[in-house]
Amino acid sequence: MRLHSSYTSPYVRKVKIFLRETGLSGEVEEIYTHPADEPALRPLNPLGKIPVLETGEGEALYDSVVICAWLDTRHGGARRIPEAGAARWCVLRGEALADGLTDAANLRRNEALREPGLISRDFIARQDLAISHALLALDQAAAAWEECAPVLHDQISAAAALGYIAFRYGDLPWREHCPRLADWFARFSERESFAATLPAEWPGRPAPPPQSVPPRWSVAL
């Protein structure tokens, strides 16, 4: 299998954490393909986005939701996305929540990196609201995560999302508002799957400028 991968993408990181948590990482070659290199990606994913997984069976799978669901059928351990019942929908909703947090953080960052005259403050404020409310909802979910073994896919998705917040929004004071999530994240950060997949800027490409509009917590206590 070949994973079209990235040093910075939280969606790619979600897949990388999943691979390591399920013991599959040795079966996958990670290829670093910057999304700007569209000609390499488009034949595999018409959207030109990463991650893409070439399965070795003639298929190219995207996006991270599909890739992780497929990988969950390929390891010998307990399913990380429960196959049925309330637990299935709880885990899938948790993945959607974590991915939505990542989406809002990613969209906000792209907006804040535009030329100052083009930045929409309303758009940024809306993403700030989504980010703060998603973190509070994850804080509630985290109350049930401590005794959960093995780690399920909602936790993997949340780890990738919080890893992105740590990488791009280091100044956002979310931990004081979400103490259970902060404790859980501190523990998850010690897992090999997380420590081995830390993001970094792309080698050989210019470092991005700082965001012109600092992130802010948008829910009153």
Ligand X SMILES: N[C@@H](CCC(=O)N[C@@H](CS)C(=O)NCC(=O)O)C(=O)O
* Interacting residue ranges for ligand X, rule: CB under 6 A: 9, 11, 35, 48-51, 63-65, 99
For residue 64, the minimal CB distance to ligand X (Å) is 3
What are the contacts of 38-41 at 24+ separation with CB within 8 A?
40/4, 41/4
For residue 26, the minimal CB distance to ligand X (Å) is 22
Quick one: 65 or 152, whose CB is closer to ligand X?
A: 65
Tokens 């804040």: give the residue: 112
DSSP letters spanning 180-214: HHHHHHHHHTTSHHHHTT---PPTTSPPPPPPSS-
Distance CA 71, CA 68 (A): 5
Q: Which residue, judged by CB position, is nearest to ligand X in the bound state?
A: 63
Amino acid identity of residue 161, one-letter, is A
For residue 72, the minimal CB distance to ligand X (Å) is 15
For residue 50, the minimal CB distance to ligand X (Å) is 4
Quick one: 2 or 180, whose CB is closer to ligand X?
A: 2
Quick one: 52 or 178, whose CB is closer to ligand X?
A: 52
Quick one: 202 or 217, whose CB is closer to ligand X?
A: 202
For residue 47, the minimal CB distance to ligand X (Å) is 7
Distance CA 80, CA 69 (A): 9
Token pair recorded at residue 201: 């800027």
Quick one: 34 or 175, whose CB is closer to ligand X?
A: 34
Distance CA 157, CA 153 (A): 6
